[in-house]
């Protein structure tokens, strides 16, 4: 049996470990930033992206449900089990650990989902080809929302598309020099 001082020390160490695990989980989940107008994935670097021009017809704010990886539930369950490991003895201790793990897992899963959910904008864009498309994209706080009538470009790279301003691009250009196109 442990002295009161040893038991208090073990409890504080377990609580510290649980807090550290939650902190690591929060940092790792926060690092899962996704793409927006000005944020690209490392996978996009060095890859060509096709562009089509169009006009925004309409926009509306949308909620984007993030992906729940299960990491929050695992970390929460471990932290809850650790936090309750000094409660009770024998089968009471096992029940306390299991109960703490269950409550921690639920709380961790809910926290992970809340962290991964975000807001975005749905754009309805009519392309220069006459085709109309919709694109939902994340909207960082410092990024503009393009309004109806605004000229935009739609970048397409595999399955990911994004809407960007085309105001800074010319509407007409000459064929590049040194290129001969033969029909």
Identity of the highest mean pLDDT range in 20-24, 27-31, 34-38, 152-156: 152-156
> Cα(118)–Cα(65) distance, rounded to whole angstroms?
7
- Residue 57: CATH number of its domain: 2.40.50
149 and 95 part of one domain:
no
Predicted local confidence at residue 30, as pLDDT: 46
Total tally of structural domains belonging to the chain:
2
Q: Are residues 72 and 21 in the same domain?
A: yes
Same domain (yes/no): 57, 83: no
Residues 27 and 80 in one domain: yes
77 lies in which domain range? 1-31+67-116
Q: Does one domain contain both 129 and 149? A: yes
On whether both 2 and 16 belong to a single domain, the answer is yes
Q: 77 and 104, same structural domain?
A: yes
More confident residue, 7 or 101: 101
| pLDDT value of residue 116 | 64
Same domain, 138 and 163: yes
- First CA to last CA distance, the chain: 90
Q: Determine the Cα–Cα distance for residues 74 and 101; give it in Å rounded to an integer.
A: 9
Is there a single domain that holds both residue 123 and residue 152?
Answer: yes
Are 128 and 143 contained in the same domain? yes
CA 166 – CA 153 distance, rounded (Å): 5
Closest CA to 74 of 106, 113, 98, 32: 106
Tell me whether residue 177 is in a domain: no
Q: 46 and 75 share a domain?
A: no
Higher per-residue confidence, 73 vs 12:
73
Q: How far apart are CA 135 and CA 163, in angstroms?
A: 8
Indicate the average pLDDT of the chain. Answer: 76
Q: Is residue 85 part of a domain?
A: yes
Task: Identify whether 108 is part of a domain.
Answer: yes
Residues 102 and 159 in one domain: no
| CA distance linking residue 90 with residue 95, whole number of Å | 9
């Amino acid at each position: 049996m442990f002295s009161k001082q040893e038991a208090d020390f073990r409890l504080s160490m377990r609580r510290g470990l649980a807090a550290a695990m939650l902190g690591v989980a929060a940092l790792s989940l926060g690092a899962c930033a996704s793409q927006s107008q000005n944020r690209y994935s490392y996978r996009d670097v060095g890859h060509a992206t096709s562009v089509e021009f169009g006009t925004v017809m309409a926009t509306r704010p949308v909620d984007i449900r993030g992906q729940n990886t299960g990491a929050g539930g695992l970390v929460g369950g471990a932290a809850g089990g650790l936090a309750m490991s000094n409660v009770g003895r024998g089968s009471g201790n096992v029940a306390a650990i299991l109960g703490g793990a269950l409550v921690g897992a639920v709380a961790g899963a809910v926290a992970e989902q809340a962290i991964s959910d975000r807001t975005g904008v749905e754009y309805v864009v009519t392309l220069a080809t006459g085709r109309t498309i919709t694109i939902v994209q994340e909207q960082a706080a410092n990024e503009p929302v393009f309004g109806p009538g605004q000229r935009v470009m739609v970048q397409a790279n595999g399955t990911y598309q994004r809407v960007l301003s085309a105001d800074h691009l010319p509407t007409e250009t000459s064929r590049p020099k040194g290129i001969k196109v033969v029909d």
